[in-house]
Amino acid sequence: MEYLPNILFAIALVLGIGYFANNVRKLIRNIKLGKDVDVSDNKPQRWKNMAYIALGQSKMVKRPIAGFLHVIVYIGFVIINIEVLEIIIDGLFGTHRIGHQVLPESIYGFLIGSFEILAVLVLVAVIIFWLRRNVIKLKRFMKDEMKGWPKSDGNIILYFEVVLMCLFLVMNATDTVFQGYNSGNIISQFIAPWFDGFSEATLHTIERTAWWLHIIGILVFLNYLYFSKHLHILLAFPNTYYGKLTPQGQFTNNEAVTKEVKLMMDPNVDPFAAPPEGAEAAMPEKFGASDVQDLSWVNLLNAYTCTECGRCTSECPANQTGKKLSPRKIMMDTRDRLEEVGKNIDANKGTFVDDGKQLLDNYITREELWACTSCNACVEACPVSIDPLNIIMEMRRYLVMEQSAAPTELNNMMTNIENNGAPWPYNQMDRLNWKNE
């Protein structure tokens, strides 16, 4: 019985980490459903981007209020969780505040004192975040795609953080041994008097309860990440590393198609001659994307990383002018469809069985796709280097090249290019007629 708490703790730890590891395995499997793409170039620049954008939060602070609050929550959450190391060692080996035993009093006091201050700052930041979502009702959190689960998800995580920070402070305030050290209890010393008059045994029970709930809360939080937009806490790092390095506005072209178009536009080439050898073989099986498996794995990593912050949508000119398009919804739909495909694979012993659905039409409509001006504002605005435009262009490419389903205006223009070598409806001889239009 003496070791029962340690055994229970070890079981909770193994279950929590085991379930998380299983979800990480599924996550990687789902991301790998995407097409391969070579992102092994320019490693120094990629590391720099990751350090600057994910670790340094450089794009977050472009909106100073939200950015500053986010930095507090981010730093606070990461640093306070260093204290989890102590909880794990104490839990497994039955020690009490092992940090105090192995570290000099001043250092231990400084660390826990800093954690307590950060906990209060996190609490303040989280309350402001909650007010922005639920009382001030910022426009970007009120869009259609944010109704239902996305709204609840945004709030649940805030409640989680409030509870975890409170448990941490109550745990410290009711820990008579820690209060006795009289160092590091910078905040908790003011909470401790709330428990005056409680017996030693009751204080011990409250302290143990807060301690257990704190660590169980952290394990639940860890496992909640997979089902939440808060997966970005982990994925922002690889996502910024694998982010696009080419200039914004530079699209990827299929080599075989580019070659064919160049030949078509070259006046020295006989249009009736047989296609060059090998051109046929280089053609892809399918142009563009109609479902998640047609996208690249970086697109899919993007989808899982989306924080649903809506900065992209708030900058999108199509959205601002009342069109149906929201780049945030493009990312959310891609993630939801990918999850659906992943569950299909799980249910069918590792193989995807056609479910009669796809990303195009079942999730993202053609109207949304054609509303995009390809301005790149969403890409520029994203704080974690997500590229919604790339997904939109891949799906448009599918519509144009596989289904010839472009809007009439575009079809006319493409026919003109094909027939006349220019977008205007005049033959080569009359090519300057456009001036008179």
Q: Which residues bind ligand SF4 (CB under 6 A)?
A: 306-312, 315-318, 325, 327-328, 331, 372-378, 381-382, 384, 386, 388-389
For ligand SF4, the closer of residues 76 and 327 by Cβ is 327
Place of tokens 């506005």: 249
CB of 384 to ligand SF4, least distance (A): 5
For ligand SF4, the closer of residues 289 and 386 by Cβ is 386
Apex 82 CA angle, 383 and 123, nearest 5: 60
CB of 328 to ligand SF4, least distance (A): 4
Write down the number of H helices and E strands in the chain. 22, 0
Alpha-carbon distance of 414 to 411, in angstroms, equals 5
Please answer whether residues 338 and 358 qualify as being in contact, where contact means their C-beta atoms are separated by less than 8 angstroms.
no
Nearest of 106, 108, 116 to residue 190 by alpha carbon? 116
CB of 151 to ligand SF4, least distance (A): 14
For ligand SF4, the closer of residues 80 and 377 by Cβ is 377
For ligand SF4, the closer of residues 9 and 304 by Cβ is 304
83 phi and psi angles, rounded to 5 deg: -65, -20
CA end-to-end distance (rounded Å), the chain: 91
Nearest of 235, 327, 217 to residue 27 by alpha carbon? 235
The token pair at 426 is: 């005049």
For ligand SF4, the closer of residues 167 and 372 by Cβ is 372
How many other C-beta atoms can be found within 10 angstroms of the C-beta atom of residue 347? 12
Angle in degrees, 0-180, between the axes of helices 149-173 and 105-134, rounded to the nearest 10: 150
Alpha-carbon distance of 323 to 80, in angstroms, equals 43
CB of 404 to ligand SF4, least distance (A): 22
For ligand SF4, the closer of residues 204 and 366 by Cβ is 366
Apex 204 CA angle, 203 and 207, nearest 5: 85
Q: Which helix (H) or strand (E) holds 431?
A: none
CB of 418 to ligand SF4, least distance (A): 26
For ligand SF4, the closer of residues 295 and 381 by Cβ is 381
Alpha-carbon distance of 425 to 310, in angstroms, equals 41
User: If you ran DSSP here, which 8-state letter would residue 296 be given?
Assistant: B
CB of 143 to ligand SF4, least distance (A): 10
For ligand SF4, the closer of residues 226 and 304 by Cβ is 304
Alpha-carbon distance of 175 to 188, in angstroms, equals 10
User: If you ran DSSP here, which 8-state letter would residue 251 be given?
Assistant: P
CB of 171 to ligand SF4, least distance (A): 34
CB of 71 to ligand SF4, least distance (A): 16
For ligand SF4, the closer of residues 260 and 336 by Cβ is 336
Alpha-carbon distance of 126 to 114, in angstroms, equals 18
Please answer whether residues 55 and 384 qualify as being in contact, where contact means their C-beta atoms are separated by less than 8 angstroms.
no
Alpha-carbon distance of 228 to 304, in angstroms, equals 9
CB of 153 to ligand SF4, least distance (A): 13
For ligand SF4, the closer of residues 119 and 393 by Cβ is 393
CB of 315 to ligand SF4, least distance (A): 6
Please answer whether residues 127 and 67 qualify as being in contact, where contact means their C-beta atoms are separated by less than 8 angstroms.
no
For ligand SF4, the closer of residues 170 and 303 by Cβ is 303
Question: How long, in residues, is the chain?
Answer: 437
CB of 149 to ligand SF4, least distance (A): 15
